[in-house]
């Protein structure tokens, strides 16, 4: 197995292609930083924030600035490859969009675990509400804050839950 490998494998070809098409369509440039960031985003299985993405990139040896992280995330969101969400604290969270799937979130106020779920009935019901108000939906967001199963079992809840609820900002 000593076949020559290409110097840089394309890790997420489909998303890469979509991003490049988006960039071309706007006369933007496909830089190394942008490619590296796309890879890092699609390598992540879960939610992340700008800072942890920045850190992950640096740890992989990509000397990329925080400013570029923000600028590129913005592009990815506009291009539909990334979603930006608030999960109840003061900073933005992001997640890679795989295919067309949409899911909502259960967020544990005790251990910060985020459980994703998808319920078609729920989406249908939202559509019917929009119809009722003649509102054209573009995006939605449902978050349920509470205590996850594990934390209920541990019984460690309730330290300063009242305060966390008040700080939800969501």
DSSP string, 40-96: HHHH--S-B-HHHHHHHHHHTT----HHHHHHHHHHHHHHTSEEEEE-SSSSEEEEE
Q: Is residue 77 part of the contact set for a copy of itself (CB under 8 A)? A: yes
**Inter-residue contact 95 to 83 (CB < 8 Å):** yes
CB atoms within 10 A of CB 46: 9
Kindly tell me which residue out of 8, 71, 98, 154 binds DNA, with binding defined by CB under 7 A.
71
Q: Is residue 22 part of the contact set for a copy of itself (CB under 8 A)? A: no
| Residue 65 binds: one of a copy of itself, DNA, none (C-beta under 5 to 8 A by kind) | DNA
Kindly tell me which residue out of 2, 5, 59, 90 binds DNA, with binding defined by CB under 7 A.
90
CB atoms within 10 A of CB 92: 14
Segment (H or E) for 30:
none
Which residues sit at the interface with DNA, rule CB under 7 A? 23, 27-34, 49-51, 63-68, 70-72, 74, 90-92, 167, 169
Residues lying near a copy of itself in the complex (CB under 8 A): 74, 77-78, 84-86, 92, 106, 108-109, 115, 117, 119, 121-122, 125-126, 129-130, 133-149, 152, 161-163, 165-170
């Amino acid at each position: 197995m000593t076949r020559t490998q290409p110097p840089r494998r394309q890790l997420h070809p489909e998303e890469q292609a979509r991003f490049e098409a988006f960039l071309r369509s706007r006369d933007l440039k496909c830089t190394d930083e942008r490619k590296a960031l796309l890879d890092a985003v699609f390598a992540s299985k879960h939610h992340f924030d700008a800072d942890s993405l920045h850190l992950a990139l640096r740890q992989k040896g990509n000397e990329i600035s925080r400013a570029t992280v923000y600028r590129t995330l913005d592009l990815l969101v506009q291009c539909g490859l990334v979603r930006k969400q608030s999960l109840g604290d003061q900073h933005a969270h992001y997640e890679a969009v795989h295919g067309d799937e949409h899911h909502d979130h259960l967020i544990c106020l005790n251990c910060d675990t985020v459980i994703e779920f998808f319920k078609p009935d729920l989406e249908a019901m939202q559509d019917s509400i929009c119809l009722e108000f003649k509102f054209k939906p573009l995006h939605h967001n449902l978050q349920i804050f509470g205590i996850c199963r594990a934390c209920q079992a541990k019984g460690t809840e309730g330290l300063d839950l009242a305060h966390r609820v008040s700080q939800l900002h969501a």
